[in-house]
Chain A
Amino acid sequence: MDITRREFVGYGIAAGAMGVGLRLPSSTHLPARTHYPCIVSPVQGQCSLPESVKGYCSALRPTAVTRRETWIVPAVVDIPSPIGKKLVEFLHRGWTIIVESGGGFAGHLNFRRHRRALRERLHVDVQAPVALWTDDSRSRRTPYVDYTWPSSAKVRDFSRVVPVGDQPGKIIARIDGLPVALKRQVGAGTLIFLGSPLGPALWAGDSEAKRWLLALLA
């Protein structure tokens, strides 16, 4: 795979010209180029958690070793069609695409857009957000997401998670039995969907979240 930063920026410009609002990856969004490009690229106007972007960027400082081409889309709500097509194209070219859900706090209408975009663009089926913290202490769940792949990790939940439905792929994280992250082979690449935002945990300095991410990129 021979994707260069220039090629990606070229795509970004094209995406901008198409009015799809993909934010150009600035230098801060290209934090780790040890071996392969790793791009953190929020969909402009569709990233519900700016702190998630900061989290990925802070975790992927230049010391991070990346051994696979990766495109991280933090806290996404809607996925415009041109971006969805690019994601699929990059997947078929062997990239790892991490799509982090920003649907938990998106509100009812935006969540419907989120769900439809995931289904139509990436064939990922998600269920309605689950509020993990309620006033009723009996219905509270254990507040940690248990990741099982590529390494085991326990990361604090993000209050409202977006569970994944029954579909092709491997469940790689659960919270109290509820599946919240999925890995699926798409062409030569790997699609990873995170229903519990990891970026805010990275941003808050959660070392286990960082270890998990770096294990994924290594």
Chain B
Amino acid sequence: MKKSIGDNMIPKDWGFERGLDLVKRAGFDGIELWLGDVSWFEMTTTDTQVRELRRKVENAGLVVSNVSTGLHWASPLSARDPAVRAQAARIVERQIEAAVLLGTDAILVVAGLVTEEVPYNEVYQRCVDALKPLGDKAARAGVKIGCENCNSEQRFLISPREFWQFLNDVSSAAVGIHLDVGNIHDTGFAEQWIEIHGPRITRIHLKDVLKHRGRCGDQSVYTNLFLGDNNWPAIRAAMTKVGYDGWLIAEMEARYRYAPDQQFYDTAQAMDRLIAGRL
């Protein structure tokens, strides 16, 4: 397994190249690029500029593990407004294009967003309908779309069997699950999600979660590895059981208030312990 971390973790005033240097020195193998979440990688970033990002990543001794985005929170594939849906699809297409340019084969998509306004059944249908053609495009590009389980925030596909059925309905070999083991909260157990989805897992996001605390205002329930309630030995065993040997990508929501670079080192070391099974 290889270790990666998101470029959105790079302290805002550091810049991309200095951030890459930190990621490498901390011991990561790759970096996850977040479309639209950082100034160096936006929807307006040209192909040439994307190739330049790849060059910088490779010069730092890293590779791009995957292309993610937070843009679908504002422009979901499940929106009622057709114009918003078209923009959401365009974001996925750009992720696919960028993944090819960056030499990686996976993207992360937050597939749907259940709200008071847009109910579950509509979100489900729209996401299935949207992901079928996007899956075809991804397959042609040799890229896999990983739909992230954002259980609490999306209020969508809360259980692993529900997610399994969803992927069956999309019915595309190029569409799987980008599993976030921290997002399951008290709705289940990450190790069971790993067992159920096995070969459909495109990438794994790592963070820990405080299950006994509900999300309240700006207070995060997410925390650093081994500080929360995830059963890490069980998670590691489940990865072995299903033969997952792909990228593990750190996604820390709570940041160190001081010495932010230290979080990169601590996280990389914790991931080493997880990979080695020394828990």
Contacts and interface: CB of A to CB of B under 8 A. Distances in A.
Contacts of A125: none
Given A133-B116, A143-B116, A143-B117, 12 more contacts: A48-B82, A105-B80, A105-B81, A105-B82, A107-B83, A159-B81, A159-B118, A200-B80, A200-B122, A203-B122, A204-B124, A205-B121
Contact of A51 (B117, B119, B129): B129
B197 interface: no
A193 interface: no
A206 B80 contact: no
Nearest to A156: B119
Contacts of A105: 80-83
B245 to A, nearest CB: 39
Nearest to B119: A156
Contact of A133 (B83, B117, B124, B125): B117
B29 to A, nearest CB: 43
Contact of A204 (B81, B116, B117, B119): B119
Interface in B115-158: 116-119, 121-122, 124-126, 129
- List the 5 closest pairs (A to B, CB-CB), nearest first: A204-B121, A133-B117, A204-B122, A159-B80, A105-B81
A49 interface: yes
A65 B142 CA distance: 47
Contacts of B81: 105, 159
Contacts of A203: 122, 125
Nearest to A206: B121
5 contacts: A51-B125, A105-B80, A156-B119, A204-B122, A205-B125
Contacts of A133: 116-117
Contacts of A156: 119
Interface string A21-61: 00000000000000000000000000011010000000000
